[in-house]
Amino acid sequence: MGWHIATVAVLILLIAFAISAVVLSVMILSRGKLYQRLSPETRPRRWVLISVLVLFAIFVISISVWAMWPDALVSRVLLGAFGVAFFVVGLTIRLLTEKVDAYVERRGWQLR
């Protein structure tokens, strides 16, 4: 393939960052030791972590399919789904945080 060592190193570094971000998010969502060590006001909102993890999963699936079959209809549909999900999550986090927080609290779910 002719990949340079720097390209492979950057790719390995990005994969390591992705794995560590997912592991940390799952540790926080499962209310493990890391979650208990955080003070309640510094804990991230659970719905934000869940939405970002879902967005990351859609990204990984769509990019993987696109890398294998770049001109296939399924890759274009998945990239479109990722674009829509990215827009919805970004809009929700940017503009609708207070409304989602109020909904979560009204339902009796734990916010953080």
75 close to 65: Cβ distance less than 8 angstroms: yes
- For the chain, the average pLDDT equals 87
- Is the model's pLDDT at 78 over the cut of 80? yes
Under a CB-based contact definition with an 8 Å cutoff, are residues 52 and 89 in contact? yes
pTM attached to this predicted model:
0.76
Backbone torsions φ then ψ of 72, nearest 5 degrees: -75, 155
Considering only CA atoms, which of 36, 24, 9, 11 is closest in space to residue 112?
36
Structure tokens at 108: 């009796």
**Residue 8, pLDDT score:** 82
Q: Give just the sign of the alpha carbon dihedral 77, 80, 86, 89.
A: negative
> What's the whole-number mean pLDDT along residues 18-33?
86
* Total length of the chain: 112
